């Protein structure tokens, strides 16, 4: 059984290493550069023809493409695309909102959308609510398939292989600080964008269509554009609607993260932040932490590891959450339950959840005293990851889904 995988992110390589350990699956992988089609059209054209040629030679069971990396035109007039010409089934697995890739093909968006809705393509989304929404846009059932982690790379012993040295902290958060809303000049739409972002933060289980249907009086402009766009064929989003949708994502990120991160400074004595755009008062590290052994060391040197999600997701779990639990570090959420425990009713505790930063600080003190209980939660978490959220688990689900059709 052979699978051809197209990707442009280093994290996919860890997934591939895990899958190659399966003796029954032969993996043919093709790493692709990240670039706007219009920036490097000749390079992309060569790559797109290589994809089609390799599919013809290798004859894989299907092509698995990550985040639209391989959906490319084959010629200058952009009439023919890799999906239709590959000659095999095509599975698209989105780890981001597809709207992020809209700007790659602004001069041929209708043709790009035609590829996304081709007969031989099936879509999987890491976020269940986005899968529901894009089932409407694509006119075909999209399925939910979360990301995962490699418990061999992320395990407690990996820390010993890290050359990085991290001071202990009570709490840590790794990610971007979104301190500027890019839509400040969008005055006519600002109230609607604010309302949508608030809805997404407070009711992440609702997709855009549900929000619009429940509150049409709050969204006269956005609601009308969404309904008009759905009724048209050959387009994913009109350009302006695409821009506004991206603005809602940005505003959602700000609302999900910034207030909580500000309050962490008030409630915790020691903290660690890393990523881009952090204000000086957070004393964030500018270093990029990518290697699994370094990330493991960072997670294990923080008593609590906070995951706040991002603006693209509704309920989708970040890969980081799986990493934290896999290496027996303590994962924390504020507010919402994660999608792997939507009702908060798992048989064994594998993470901690608080309604506010103040409550999380109290839980931090509690679990520092209750060392055995804390150790049990961490052990439970790693066991849960190995049983449910490894890349091997995802490969099994993909194959079962494909072969059942």
Residues 176-212, buried b or exposed e (16+ Cβ, 10 A)? ebbeebebeeeeebeebbbbbbebbbeebebbbeebb
User: In angstroms, rounded to a whole number, what is the distance separating the alpha carbons of residues 241 and 229?
Assistant: 9
Q: Both tokens of residue 321? A: 């959450």
Residue 3: helix, strand or coil by DSSP? strand
Which DSSP string corresponds to 149-201?
B-TTTSSGGGGGG-------EEEEEES------TTTT-GGGHHHHHHHHHHHH
Do the domains 156-179+254-389 and 2-147+392-404 match in fold? yes
Neighbours of 119 (CB within 10 A): 9
Domain made up of 156-179+254-389: CATH architecture = 3-Layer(aba) Sandwich (3.40)
Domain made up of 2-147+392-404: CATH architecture = 3-Layer(aba) Sandwich (3.40)
Question: What pLDDT is recorded for position 174?
Answer: 95
CB 55 within 8 A of CB 30: no
User: What sign does the dihedral 146-203-257-307 (CA atoms) show?
Assistant: negative
Q: Where are the domains of the chain?
A: 2-147+392-404, 156-179+254-389, 187-252
- Mark the ranges of the chain whose per-residue pLDDT is less than 70: 34-38, 182-185, 233-236
CB 14 within 8 A of CB 292: yes
Question: What pLDDT is recorded for position 108?
Answer: 82
Question: What pLDDT is recorded for position 34?
Answer: 67
Question: What pLDDT is recorded for position 234?
Answer: 56
The model's pLDDT over 345-400, given as tens digits with 9 standing for 90+, comes to: 999 999 999 999 999 999 999 999 999 999 999 999 999 999 999 999 999 999 99
The model's pLDDT over 95-128, given as tens digits with 9 standing for 90+, comes to: 999 988 877 777 788 888 889 999 999 999 999 9
């Amino acid at each position: 059984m052979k699978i051809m995988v197209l990707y442009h992110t280093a994290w996919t390589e860890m997934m591939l290493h895990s899958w190659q350990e399966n003796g029954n699956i032969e993996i043919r992988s093709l790493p692709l550069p990240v670039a706007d089609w219009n920036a490097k059209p000749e390079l992309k054209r060569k790559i797109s023809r290589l994809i089609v040629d390799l599919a013809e030679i290798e004859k894989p069971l299907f092509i698995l493409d990550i985040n639209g990396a391989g959906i490319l035109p084959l010629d200058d007039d952009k009439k023919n695309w890799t999906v239709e010409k590959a000659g095999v089934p095509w599975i698209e697995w989105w780890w981001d909102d597809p709207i992020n890739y809209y700007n790659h093909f602004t001069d041929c968006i209708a043709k790009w959308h035609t590829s996304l809705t081709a007969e031989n393509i099936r879509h999987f989304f890491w976020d269940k609510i986005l899968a529901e929404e894009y089932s409407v846009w694509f006119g075909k059932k999209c399925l939910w398939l979360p990301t995962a982690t490699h418990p061999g790379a992320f395990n407690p012993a990996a820390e010993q292989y890290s050359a990085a040295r991290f001071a202990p902290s009570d709490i840590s958060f790794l990610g971007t600080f979104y301190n500027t809303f890019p839509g400040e000049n969008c005055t006519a739409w600002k109230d609607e964008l604010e309302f949508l972002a608030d809805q997404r933060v407070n009711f992440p289980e609702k997709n855009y269509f549900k929000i619009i249907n429940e509150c049409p009086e709050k969204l006269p402009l956005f609601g009308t554009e969404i309904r008009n766009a759905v009724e048209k064929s050959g387009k994913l989003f009109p350009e302006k609607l695409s821009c506004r949708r991206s603005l809602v994502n940005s505003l959602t990120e700000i609302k999900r993260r910034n207030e909580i991160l500000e309050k962490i400074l008030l409630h915790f004595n020691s903290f660690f932040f890393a990523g881009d755009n952090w204000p000086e008062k957070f004393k964030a590290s500018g270093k990029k932490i990518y290697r699994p052994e370094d990330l493991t060391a960072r997670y294990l040197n923080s008593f609590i590891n906070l995951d706040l999600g991002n603006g693209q997701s509704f309920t989708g779990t970040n890969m980081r959450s799986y990493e934290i639990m896999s290496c027996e570090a303590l994962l924390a959420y504020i507010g919402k339950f994660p999608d792997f425990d939507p009702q908060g009713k798992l048989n064994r505790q594998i993470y901690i959840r608080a309604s506010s930063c103040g409550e999380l600080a109290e839980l931090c003190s509690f679990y520092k005293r209750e060392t055995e209980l804390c150790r049990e939660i961490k052990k439970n978490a790693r066991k849960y990851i190995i049983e449910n959220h490894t890349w091997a688990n995802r490969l099994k689900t993909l194959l079962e889904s494909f072969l059942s059709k």
